[in-house]
Amino acid sequence: MSAVDITLPGFNIMHDVRGNTSGVVMSLAGNQWFVIDELTRYLNNRGFEVYIETIPPGLVKERAMGKALRVGDLVINLRPEIVSLPPQMLSGLNIVESFDYVENELAIVYTNKAVNDWCDLSKVRAAIPNPVTEGIGALFRDLYNEYCGDYLNLVSKGSIYITKIHHREIPELLNHGIIDAGVVWTTEAKYWRFNYITPKVNKVGRLAFALMPWASEKAKELFKELQSNEVKKIYEKYGFKWVGKT
C-alpha cells in the first residue's frame, strides 16, 4: 500500500498522531492540532475512543482515498472514518455527509521588525506553506497573486522557504532566528503567542467534517457529537470562528 509521508527530520511529528488505534479513526487538517488534546478528552468522557492524526489537508484527502500514513519507519494503514478538510477539497471524495464547522484567516508572524503587508514578505527571510498540500498555502498563493503580483517570482527568491508541514516548521524556524516572518493561521499565531499582523486585505479559510461510507456505527455517533455546542465551545476557546449548526 502506498503511503503519504510526514517524516520531517528535526521536528517532532509524533504530536500529529495520537489517541487509541482501536477507536474511531479521524484524519484532520493540521491547523487544529493544538485543539485535539482537549477535544480528545471531551470525546473520551462522552464514551468515544479515538485515533486522531493532524496533517496537511492534501495528505488528509489522500488518506481518505486509501493511502496509508508514514512517520519514519512507522506505517499507519488505518482508514479514516471521519475527515476534516476545506469544503472545496471534499470534491471527488465518496462521503456520506458533511458540515462546515469553523473559519479562520491568515496572519503574518514575525520576530522583531513587523512585516505589515503580504508584499513585504519578499523583502525578508520568510516561510510560506506549501500550496500543493496545505489549504493555507493555496489561499496565500491566490492572495499574493491578486494583491502583490507574481507568486512564482516570490518563491524564486532565495530568502523564501516553502514548508512541508507548516504548523511544525514555522514556530521552530522563527524561534531559532532562521526566518524573520512566516504565514500562518491567526489561531496559530495566537496559540504560539508570536507577534503577528492580520493585513486588511486577507482571505478566510473554512473547514468541514465529513463522514466516510465505511464509518462504523460508533463513528456515526461521534460525527453527530462533533456538531454539539460543547465542541463549538472548545474550538471557540482556541480562537476559531464557529460556523456550524449546534
pLDDT band at 65, cuts 50/70/90?
Answer: very high
Count of residues making up the chain: 246
The residue among 244, 242, 241, 239 whose CA lies nearest residue 35 is 239
Considering the domain architecture, whether residues 76 and 146 belong to the same structural domain is answered as no
Cell 482537549 maps to which residue? 38
Is 1 a residue whose pLDDT tops 60? no
Q: Are residues 199 and 222 in the same domain?
A: no
**Same domain, yes or no: 123 and 96:** no
pLDDT band at 184 (very low <50, low <70, confident <90, very high): very high
Rounded to whole angstroms, the Cα distance separating 5 from 245 reads 34
Higher pLDDT, 244 or 95: 95
Same-domain pairing of 27 and 62: yes
Domain hosting residue 167, numbered range? 105-203
Tally of structural domains, the chain:
2
Judgement on whether residues 122 and 79 belong to the same structural domain of the protein: no
Query: Does residue 91 share a domain with residue 166?
Result: no
Is the Cβ–Cβ distance between 183 and 140 less than 8 Å?
yes
What is the per-residue pLDDT across 12-50, written as a single tens digit (0 to 9) for each? 667 789 999 999 999 999 999 999 999 999 999 999 999
198 and 83 within one domain = no
Reported as a single tens digit per residue, the pLDDT across 115-159 is 999 999 999 999 999 999 899 999 999 999 999 999 999 999 899
Helical H segments across 112-156, by residue range: 135-147, 151-155
For CA atoms 34, 38, 43, 44, the dihedral sign is: positive
pTM of this structure: 0.94
How do strand 50-55 and strand 17-19 relate by DSSP bridges? antiparallel
Query: DSSP secondary-structure letter at 216?
Result: -
Q: Looking at per-residue confidence, does 108 or 112 come out higher?
A: 108
The confidence score (pLDDT) of residue 246 equals 65
Q: What is the CATH number of the domain that holds 30?
A: 3.40.190.10
* Same-domain status, 188 and 115: yes
Q: Based on the domain organization, do 28 and 88 belong to the same domain?
A: yes
One domain for residues 62 and 184: no
Distances (CA, A) of 234 to 13, 42, 102, 121: 23, 9, 11, 33
